[in-house]
Chains A and B, each alone.
Chain A
Amino acid sequence: MLFFSFFKTLVNHEVTVELKNDISIRGTLKSVDQYLNIKLDDITVVDELKYPHLSSVKNVFIRGSVVRYVHLPAAAVDTPLLEDATRREAAQTAAKAKQG
């Protein structure tokens, strides 16, 4: 849930989503769900000349499983908090693993 929790805070920020088929789409993150499916608004494709068929697309829904990277806006990421959140997640996972 860490990533879900994290991406929720990026809603309405501009992100660049790099897909596994090498297309990079920049747009405003509109929503994200627990599968990390992503909804982007006002999108532009980074290499527009290469993918002209996307030039008229204004918003997209991206299935989480096809995302390779999400480029984050650095200013919108609270690194110490994210570190803490990661620690918590790790502690939880460890606790669960110990349980069974």
Chain B
Amino acid sequence: MAFFGFDTTLPRDRAAPSSSRGMFDSHDPFAGLSRDAGDDDNVLNFDDTYDGLGNQLEESGDTFNDDTFGADQPVTRQALGRDFDFAGETARVRDTLLEEQVLHNARQPMQFSYAQRPAKPKTGYEAYKEPEYIPKLEADASIWGKPMGRQAELQAPRQEQAAGRKMMSLEEVEAMMRSQPKAAPPAPQTMESQSQGLRDMLGVGIPTGPPSIPAQQQQPQQFPTQILQRPQHPSQAQQMQLPTPDYGHRAPHVLQRDLPPSRPQSQDVHSFPPQQHMDFQQGPTMGAPAVQPPRGPARHQMGHQRGPSYNGPPITQAQQMMNMNAADRETYLAEEAKRAKRNHKIFLLSKNNGLMTPQDKNFITRIQLQQLLTATGGIDNDPGSEEQLAEDFYYQVYAQIRGPPRSGPGQPLNQFAQTYLFQTGSRYGYGRSRHHPRGGDNHVQRMEQQVARAVEAAKARPKNKQLVVEGSLGKIAFSNSKTPRPLLNFKRPDATAKNSAPKETDRKAALRDIEKMYSTLMRLEDHERRLPPPPKEDSPPDVIEGHMKWRSEMQSLNEQLWDSMKVLETQASPSSPHPFIQILSHGKGKKAIPRVFRHLDDQQRLTMLTLIAIHLDSLDVIRDAYPPADNTPLPARVKEEVELFNQAVIPPLFSYINEAPLNIIIGMLGLIIDRVHLQSIVRTKIGLSILTMLISRAELVKQAASSFSPAQHEEWQQWTELYSRLFDIVEPVLPYIFPTDTNIAAADDVHVWQFLATMGVGASQDQQQRLVLGVKDRVMETVAVSKTLPDDMAARRLGDVNLFMRAIGLDVELLG
């Protein structure tokens, strides 16, 4: 059953009379209706509908066909005449059409935006986009009754499209299409006289453009008006008499594109000096009258080709442009493309113009500002301020260290509000000021006021996170992204109470110590950043006072830092390591040393170094790094720690020792020899490094000093004595100080050779021999192994050995 109750079943499908209905066939209450209406009449029969016209045809009545169609001779152009040669005639006037197009394009370069208009809603402000806007006094097209102008518009796009087909890039085609509606009017001028006939032909001017160009069908309303006004133009007739093959006009037209667009077109044409015609004409001068006759029919037939069935040869602007010289064409196309691009951009930018009222915009702006303020937790954090740094520490410092990220938000967050405001303000200012200079300013002012108010509001907002409205039972909790609404709200016990808790000397305590050290360190660094400019003699007293204050603050922070390092604390119990050594046993403790070291004074540095020297064997990088008895490699974690210690702690120590006087070196080495089990620590990398550091400094001092004062002489005596003691202790373990976890080829033993080299420099003749004896095996092995290695590796291995060999006046070369 169809929806409206029509019976859609065919008669043969219809149910048989109800008596023969099957059990489940429902009775069709409407079945009778259609049957009553016409029984089988509604079956369409060819015989019933055929009007029989074909029968009236006289099959033998083709006697005069030959006369009509000329069958006995081949149909030639001559025989046929030119009456139906639409395409040919069109081709003849093509040039004129093209000229008109270019001319028109040239005249109205600024009005392209008309073409875009149909796509967007009319705002009433479009005209302001034209730089030289003059309000048009135009009549409503409907006065003339028939919207015939539309037809004229239709063909122009088609011509243009055809023109674009040949040799233009996409952009250029775009440019063409964009400019089409403007190019249209010339054509209507020439065909004005045919308009009536054409209208009749097409069925009273109803626009039926080819479906391929639907967009162009919606033309701006001005066109009909302009077109219909044209005939009243006095120069119209003259223009139509322009010689058809006047190619010369093209170049000038192109070049004259910059003429003021408001200039009447036809005047332009006639403003050409006569000799200009001559210059560009090809061949003998063809006067207007001479060409006039063929034009009549041509124009007439143009009318035909504009019908929907037009299939004639493409009327190409490209063709015309080919006749220009290359440079002209190039510039023309380039300009055209550029203009098209610009127009397209303007179009894209302006297609939503007028969608929002100023009030809407204000509203949105207010919301956005509010958002900004809430997001950043208030604008009271000025850029670069303490709070701001605290909020955005990582980004700020990272940007300072590595340079600002390439296209990230260039400014710190809180400048957003200002930047945002500024940009928006200026945009408004520029855009509006052309026509409404006051209005733009007002808008910026209003925006500024708004921001100011928003900032005020943000500042005035209650800082506490809860609001109890009077008379209500509940609480309102504020939250923003920075301070989310607390789900649990409890008071923390005071930190002092925790401090009095019994001290644990375990890992956790060390970690806590490290964190305390770090936070003190960061406070110190922050304070350092706030260094006031150094006061001068004539500085005002408050500046000097400020500086003094800074200094004293710095001093107290330094003391806090020193305390937090726990260097001077005593061991809680003899079994547990010193707190500072515990700090050093953690990776982040080691990493802190170079940063802390900067802030320590000389005495503190020496104290720290001494402490390390005394507790060398309890340092994790030594304690855990003894080579295992079974020659297995050290655990990766230990290796990492050793590496970290080498990179983080050794450099500051080294820099200090490198400037230390000899007595400090002597004292230090003495302490190590007395307090530490040297034979063990020389088997570790860090132990060797520290010893190397001390001995090499002593040797350098010795070499730098040319003459000894008695006091110095005494010191040297001391040093030589100490060195001998060291040598005696180390000598028995010399063969074992090389790392054993890998084979010789891959051994990481540079530090050992360095140590041996420094030992060798200061050694006496006898000691040198003993030294060589102690490591002879290793030297020979390394030289032997290096012969089997690739060249670069071998050179490196031999270079390592040579460190030591040269120190005692030998060379691996001597070993053959």
Q: Which residues of A contact B (CB under 8 A)?
A: 1-2, 4-6, 8-9, 11-12, 31, 33-35, 78, 80-85, 87-89, 91-92, 94, 96-98, 100
When distances are taken between beta carbons in the complex, the residues of chain A under 8 Å from B518 are 84, 87
Complex-state Cα separation, A92 to B377, whole angstroms: 14
Query: Can you offer 11 A-B residue contacts whose CB atoms are under 8 A?
Result: A1-B391, A1-B482, A8-B395, A9-B405, A31-B408, A34-B375, A34-B482, A81-B398, A87-B515, A97-B492, A100-B491
User: Is B394 located at the chain interface by the 8 A CB criterion?
Assistant: yes
Output the least CB separation between A2 and chain B (Å): 7
User: Is B743 located at the chain interface by the 8 A CB criterion?
Assistant: no
Complex-state Cα separation, A98 to B465, whole angstroms: 14
The answer to whether A2 touches B519 (Cβ under 8 A) is: no
Which of A8, A78, A83 lies in contact with B408, CB distance below 8 A?
A: A8
The answer to whether B393 touches A5 (Cβ under 8 A) is: yes
Complex-state Cα separation, A11 to B409, whole angstroms: 9
The answer to whether B394 touches A12 (Cβ under 8 A) is: no
The answer to whether A88 touches B393 (Cβ under 8 A) is: yes
The answer to whether B407 touches A87 (Cβ under 8 A) is: no
The dominant DSSP class at the A interface is: helix
CB contact list, B449-493 vs A, under 8 A: 464-465, 481-483, 489, 491-492
Complex-state Cα separation, A96 to B482, whole angstroms: 11
When distances are taken between beta carbons in the complex, the residues of chain B under 8 Å from A5 are 391-396
Output the least CB separation between A80 and chain B (Å): 6
User: Is B92 located at the chain interface by the 8 A CB criterion?
Assistant: no
The answer to whether B395 touches A84 (Cβ under 8 A) is: no
Which among B398, B489, B518 has the highest number of chain A CB atoms within 10 Å?
B398
The answer to whether A9 touches B522 (Cβ under 8 A) is: no
When distances are taken between beta carbons in the complex, the residues of chain B under 8 Å from A1 are 391-392, 481-482
User: Is B397 located at the chain interface by the 8 A CB criterion?
Assistant: yes
The answer to whether B390 touches A88 (Cβ under 8 A) is: yes
When distances are taken between beta carbons in the complex, the residues of chain B under 8 Å from A82 are 394
When distances are taken between beta carbons in the complex, the residues of chain B under 8 Å from A83 are 588
When distances are taken between beta carbons in the complex, the residues of chain B under 8 Å from A84 are 393, 397, 518, 522
The answer to whether B398 touches A78 (Cβ under 8 A) is: yes
Complex-state Cα separation, A8 to B404, whole angstroms: 11
Output the least CB separation between A78 and chain B (Å): 6
The answer to whether B406 touches A9 (Cβ under 8 A) is: no
Which of B390, B394, B405, B591 lies in contact with A92, CB distance below 8 A?
A: B390
The answer to whether B407 touches A6 (Cβ under 8 A) is: no
User: Is B399 located at the chain interface by the 8 A CB criterion?
Assistant: yes
CB contact list, B483-518 vs A, under 8 A: 483, 489, 491-492, 515, 518
Q: Contacts A35-B481, A88-B393 given: A8-B522 contact, CB under 8 Å? A: no
The answer to whether B398 touches A9 (Cβ under 8 A) is: yes
The answer to whether B395 touches A91 (Cβ under 8 A) is: no
When distances are taken between beta carbons in the complex, the residues of chain A under 8 Å from B522 are 84, 87-88
When distances are taken between beta carbons in the complex, the residues of chain B under 8 Å from A78 are 394, 398, 401-402
CB contact list, B236-262 vs A, under 8 A: none
Which of B405, B465, B483, B491 lies in contact with A12, CB distance below 8 A?
A: B405
The answer to whether B394 touches A11 (Cβ under 8 A) is: no
The answer to whether A12 touches B407 (Cβ under 8 A) is: yes
Q: Contacts A35-B481, A87-B515, A87-B518 given: A6-B395 contact, CB under 8 Å? A: yes
When distances are taken between beta carbons in the complex, the residues of chain B under 8 Å from A87 are 515, 518-519, 522
In the complex, residue of chain A having the shortest beta-carbon distance to the beta carbon of B391 = A1
Complex-state Cα separation, A98 to B409, whole angstroms: 33
Complex-state Cα separation, A80 to B590, whole angstroms: 12
Complex-state Cα separation, A34 to B394, whole angstroms: 14
In the complex, residue of chain A having the shortest beta-carbon distance to the beta carbon of B377 = A1
In the complex, residue of chain A having the shortest beta-carbon distance to the beta carbon of B396 = A5
Output the least CB separation between A35 and chain B (Å): 7
Top 10 closest pairs, chain A to chain B, by CB:
A85-B394, A11-B408, A5-B395, A34-B481, A5-B394, A9-B398, A85-B393, A5-B392, A8-B395, A1-B391
When distances are taken between beta carbons in the complex, the residues of chain A under 8 Å from B491 are 98, 100
The answer to whether B481 touches A6 (Cβ under 8 A) is: no
